[in-house]
Amino acid sequence: MTIKPLFDKVVVKTLKAEEKTKSGIILTAAAQEKPAVCEVVAVGPGGVVDGKDVTMQVKVGDKVLLSKYSGTEVKVEGEEYTIIRQSDILAIVE
């Protein structure tokens, strides 16, 4: 099964959280922050959304920075994904 987003929606997969600090301290699962960097898995076609023409700025494979509590989390075939609006993406990480 695949996820095909509609309109201005983007499907992203969260990248693994850092398990160590820069100084080498190992973090427990509870102490790890939810990472804001995700990889784009699927992109909707864009089009007219809420009366405005939306052109998609991201593509599959881009690494993006999200706002902390955005999107809807879904689980498909054991994998966890988040579906967000393109406007919830803060930046593309290069």
Identify which of 36-40, 50-54, 55-59, 65-69 has the greatest average pLDDT.
Answer: 55-59
- What pLDDT does residue 33 have? 55
- What pLDDT does residue 31 have? 47
Per-residue pLDDT, averaged over 65-92, amounts to 91
Query: Angle 32-34-39 (CA atoms, 0-180°, nearest 5)?
Result: 125
List, in sequence order, every beta strand (DSSP E) within the chain: 9-14, 37-43, 47-49, 52-54, 63-66, 72-76, 79-85, 89-93
Between 50 and 32, the more confident residue is: 50
Between 33 and 50, the more confident residue is: 50
